[in-house]
Amino acid sequence: MTFGILGSGSWGTAIAKILTDNGQTIYWWNRSQKAIDQIISRRHNPHYLSTAYFNPNQLKLTTDPVEVIRNSDAIIIAIPSAFAAQTLLALDKNIFTGKKIISAIKGILPEQNLLLNDFLKNEFDFPLEDYFAVLGPCHAEEVAAEKLSYLTFSGINEEATHEIARHFKTDYLNTVENDDIYGVQFAAVLKNIYAVGAGMAHGLDYGDNFLSVLIANSADEMAGFLKKAGIKNIEVGHVDTLPSSNEHRSNNYAASVYLGDLLVTCYSLYSRNRTFGNMIGKGYSVQSAQLEMSMVAEGYNASKCMFHINQTILAEMPISETVYRILWEHLPPAEGFKKIEGALI
């Protein structure tokens, strides 16, 4: 299986490292020819994860996304959600025929208010059977440092999901598989919103005791939304041994891709969403915080998308809704967190 990557930020670079460490030759799209030249000459991405080194012979670098797609069996889309639609809509409607698409996007496409698989279905008539999602908990910086991490691969085609996942397993990366394609994606979107909230709490000088309660309530709020949205694997603590594998257990929302990803995104200093929220809590405007950061905080757009999606689902989401109102309706963070205090249990 030949892999292509659309996206050359920190997460796209981490994925490139994982695949090339496994001996894969990959096609890799970068907008900038200058950046491509630097990767070839210096053997690392000059802008992201500069400690991750590559063998240039394993890289087919190009500024043309069509070249990547045509030469790859599986295309990994690692473009920030805010910019993904713009890139994809410029492509021919039949370009993904016969391909597999692996989403490494941890957000909703904001202009369309859609998960990537629903966008691809609408615009390219792309079948869900050939769509997969790769999710954490897994910070790109720790992949670069080769610290043991876990990735979850989700797809409704069990055999294809397993085939894709095996190409990513290394000494420093374990893989998990499930078929909860909507659940894992919505969980990834929501955990970014809650991480912005955790950052706000830190910026407002709340302590660890409050933060633990905030995150525990965020996990409960996430599970409540997913359950109301009709997504499975809700029951925390219920784990069945699968007859088809030795010691693997069925996923629930205490598993790494759900609760684990929420925890690391809320607590880790690598978390851009936590960093963004911390700046908001300290009094930065949204625009100032965005200018200060060199990476996209997915939780910003996600908070607005999920607010509108929940107008149909009607789940109880006081934490997510308050983050939205602080970011988009200019609710003062201190006032918003006074409201959150009263909602926590």
CATH number at residue 190: 1.10.1040.10
CB distance 261 to 135 below 8 Å: yes
The residue from 124, 155, 179 where one domain ends is 179
Q: Report the amino acid identity of residue 164.
A: I
Assess whether 152 and 214 both reside in one domain. Answer: no
Say if residue 168 is in the same domain as residue 298. no
pLDDT of the residue at 230: 86
Looking at residue 293, its pLDDT comes to 84
Q: Is the pLDDT of residue 246 over 50?
A: no
Distant-in-sequence, close-in-space partners of 321: CB < 8 Å, separation ≥ 6: 307, 310
**Residues 144 and 241 grouped into a single domain:** no
Residues 110 and 8 in one domain: yes
Same domain assignment for residues 132 and 215: no
Q: Is 128 helix (H, G, I), strand (E, B) or coil?
A: helix
Q: With bands split at pLDDT 50, 70 and 90, how would you rate the model's confidence at 335?
A: very high
Q: For residue range 276-316, what is the model confidence (pLDDT) as tens digits?
A: 999 999 999 999 999 888 777 899 999 999 999 999 999 99
Average pLDDT value for residue range 220-233 = 87
Instruction: Quote the pLDDT of residue 242.
Output: 53
* pLDDT of 113 higher than 60: yes
Total tally of structural domains belonging to the chain: 2
Residue 143 maps to which CATH number? 3.40.50.720
**Helices 208-228 and 298-313, axial angle in degrees (round to 10):** 50
> In the listed set 164, 179, 194, which residue is the last one of a domain according to the structure?
179
* Overall average pLDDT of the 84-113 stretch: 95
Containing structural domain, residue 294: 183-343
The model carries a pTM of: 0.92
* Same domain (yes/no): 236, 332: yes
Question: Strands across the sheet with 173-178, in order?
Answer: 59-62, 26-29, 3-6, 74-77, 100-103, 131-135, 149-154, 173-178
Q: Verify that 144 and 47 share a domain, yes or no.
A: yes
Q: Is the pLDDT of residue 247 over 60?
A: no
Query: Is 227 found in the same domain as 174?
Result: no
* pLDDT tops 60 at residue 326: yes
Taking residues 107-118, report their average pLDDT: 94
Query: Same structural domain for residues 217 and 140?
Result: no
171-189 tens-digit pLDDT: 999 999 999 999 999 999 9
- Contact call for residues 318 and 331 (beta carbons, < 8 A): no
Domain co-membership, 57 together with 195? no
